[in-house]
Amino acid sequence: MSARTGKVTVTTENIFPIIRKWLYSDHDIFVRELVSNASDATTKLKRLVDLGQCSIDSDSELSIRISYNEKTGVLIIEDQGIGMTSDELDRYINQIAFSGAMDFVEKYKEKGGSDNSIIGHFGLGFYSAFMVADRVTIDTLSYVEGEKPVKWESEDGMEYTVSESDRTQRGTSITLTLSDEAKKMFDATKIKNILDKYCSFMPYPLFFTDVKRKLEHEKDQKKRAKEAESKKEEFLISEYTPLRVNPVAPLWQKAPKDCTDEEYISFYHQVFSDPRDPLFWIHLNLDYPFTLQGILYFPKTDNVYQTLEGRIKVYNQQVFVADNIEEIIPDFLFLLRGCLDCTDLPLNVSRSALQQDDYVQKLSSHIIRKVSDKLSSLFKKQREDYESYWDDIGVFVKYGMMKEDKFFDKAKAFMLFKTVEAQYLTYDELTEKHDAVRYTQAADKQAAYIDIATKKGYPVVVLDHEIDNNFISFMEFKLPSKRFMRVDAEFEGESHSEESYKRLTDHFKSVVQDSKLDIEVISLGVDSFPAFIRETEESRRMSEMKKQFEKMKKSGESDPYGNLDEMFPEKKDLVLNADHPLVARLMSYVEADSTDDSADIIINQLYDQARLSHGSLDAEGLKNFLQNHSTLLLNIIENRAGSVGGKE
């Protein structure tokens, strides 16, 4: 067979169904695309006016108007923009994927100005209409003087008819007759919600008319006018007023120096419907090395996880693109709220996803740097204010440090730890004079342990959030020169190992019936409790790991790989305070071999009291503790009654 060459041909019958099905994953995208095209057409007209290529009435408002008739399923999107000629219809509509925006930019780029303000792909975006419409009509009149109005009609996007139009106003009107299936999906409220989602910050006034409500309003006005006439009363008919979709201008377009705190707070409430004021914010306004505008807010959270959906909204030339795009916004920043508008985003032609490139990575790095710079500046210049924010932003900073190395490198300087005395100290301040960071997970339950540590001069920090277990391990990995140690992990003082104390500890073991219990006698001061449970940091972490595996076992997520008690042995020791009078009295009983049931009750009570203050006393132990407590109280009363009787 002889070699031959040729060109691959693609027919609309084959490719168009694929475009409609796969280019746009969400059916409501067609509203965004058509309104965006209307905005692009208006921007083009303004550019031509600025370049002196055409003129418009100075009093005319360049607005975009949308109307929807639920009864007929007719949706109309109309602009007063540049319009199209018959030739432009052929190029921009009849040739799929011909970019009208890029053609316009190439034609006028020598005139000066940026091409960032025109983002539309006039062609593919328009064809999203056929996902929902049985018929689409374009009625357009170009700004070019002498051009005739043109009408384009199609029922499937493949076959079309072009004819003369009777349009007299410059601009374009696109009319969609929705399919029966689409009518079930879209009512007037749904259309309005879509406009609110995607078009709230469009650069031109955007109005929506619910035709059904308009007709009802007009009918009601006529009825009331007729009733007023019959009563010979005056009645002024009020016209139906279309709803303004975008009454709030995007605050991020103003220069930071021109924005007041009241404006920032008001904008936050309007966009995010949060009744609480934000703590502070970061206003991004860059022209180089990329165009980026936006505002990131630090909300009040009380360190409680909340839904992350829709917290950071990404826009492209004031058109909403998506929530929480991970390519440019690391997930730890989703704990913030805000709006980002970047006209340079490398979007695909459906404007619904990013194309991966180095630009996106640079943009992400810049946003991280701006956030860390803001926090660093607050810490250095307004530390008192920064400390007042910490209860709300602490989780954000910790999570960010664990997720992003670049953020960790800066944040370790302004990362704070809150002490039990409500002081806020940095890691360096905590470890400057101490070999470890001593912490508590429950300040109210570990008060006795905290008292010992603070009397020794150690600051004790509160690490009681669910993120803190992982954060402790992370900090020890990143900064291995120091360690974290819970307040019940170590007791400093003179340790007693004399034979007399050994007899006491052996008797303790026999009474509590735990021969494996390790008991140490240490001088802790007469003001400290008589007994404590000591759990090493290693044992505590083993206990936490065991809990995680137990949860997995209950949920059926994973095989726990054998006996959990063997995998994660828990070890808790008993520490007796040699300085406490009660321990000294028990020791004297043991030395004199004069222990009795009362002494044994006291021993059990001391052990249970230690476990109670530690938080490791189970239900059965608590029951025994309360019974022993009642017995001791009864003994006191009986002994006192006997003493009183003897005196009498």
pLDDT in tens, 43-79: 999 999 988 888 887 667 799 999 999 999 999 999 9
Mean pLDDT over the full length of the chain: 84
**Within a domain: 480:** no
Give 172's strand partners: 79, 140
Are 189 and 60 members of one domain?
yes
Are 514 and 555 members of one domain?
no
**Within a domain: 559:** yes
pLDDT in tens, 273-294: 888 999 999 999 988 777 889 9
Query: Which CATH number fits the domain that encloses residue 522?
Result: 1.20.120.790
Are 553 and 598 members of one domain?
no
**Percent of the chain beyond pLDDT 70?**
82
**Within a domain: 202:** yes
pLDDT in tens, 79-111: 999 999 999 888 878 765 444 444 544 554 555
Q: What is the mean pLDDT of residues 509-525?
A: 88
pLDDT attached to residue 546 = 66
Name the domain boundary from 330, 348, 379: 379
Q: What is the mean pLDDT of residues 581-593?
A: 86
Are 58 and 90 members of one domain?
yes
| Residue 137 per-residue DSSP state | E
Domain that holds residue 137: 12-212
pLDDT attached to residue 332 = 86
**Within a domain: 239:** no
| Range in 50-54, 170-174, 418-422 with the lowest mean pLDDT | 50-54
What is d(CA 527, CA 522) in angstroms, rounded to the nearest whole number? 13
If pLDDT is split at 50, 70 and 90, which confidence band does 120 have? very low
| Range in 152-166, 500-514, 600-614, 634-648 with the lowest mean pLDDT | 634-648
pLDDT attached to residue 322 = 81
Which of 343 and 293 is assigned the larger pLDDT? Answer: 293
pLDDT attached to residue 348 = 46
Phi and psi at residue 369, to the nearest 5°: -65, -40
If pLDDT is split at 50, 70 and 90, which confidence band does 351 have? very low
Q: What is the mean pLDDT of residues 188-203?
A: 94
If pLDDT is split at 50, 70 and 90, which confidence band does 28 have? confident
Query: Which CATH number fits the domain that encloses residue 140?
Result: 3.30.565.10
Are 60 and 182 members of one domain?
yes
DSSP string, 192-255: HHHHHHHHTT-SS-EEEEEHHHHHHHHHHHHHHHHHHHHTT---PPPPP-PEES--SPPGGGS-
Question: What is the chain's alpha carbon radius of gyration, rounded to the nearest angstrom?
Answer: 37
> Which residue from 139, 136, 140 is spatially nearest to 178, judged by alpha carbons?
136
Report the domain count for the chain.
Answer: 4
**Within a domain: 622:** yes
> Is residue 14 over pLDDT 80?
no
**Within a domain: 229:** no
> Is residue 371 over pLDDT 60?
yes
Are 293 and 371 members of one domain?
yes
Are 282 and 202 members of one domain?
no
Are 54 and 117 members of one domain?
yes
Q: What is the mean pLDDT of residues 138-167?
A: 91
Name the domain boundary from 186, 212, 238: 212
Are 25 and 143 members of one domain?
yes
Name the domain boundary from 340, 361, 379: 379
Are 356 and 324 members of one domain?
yes
Are 78 and 197 members of one domain?
yes
**Within a domain: 389:** no
What is d(CA 233, CA 218) in angstroms, rounded to the nearest whole number? 19
> Is residue 25 over pLDDT 70?
no
If pLDDT is split at 50, 70 and 90, which confidence band does 333 have? confident
Are 118 and 31 members of one domain?
yes
Alpha helices in 446-578 (DSSP H): 447-455, 468-478, 499-512, 537-555, 564-567
| Range in 107-111, 284-288, 313-317, 371-375 with the lowest mean pLDDT | 107-111
**Within a domain: 432:** no
If pLDDT is split at 50, 70 and 90, which confidence band does 119 have? very low
If pLDDT is split at 50, 70 and 90, which confidence band does 439 have? very high
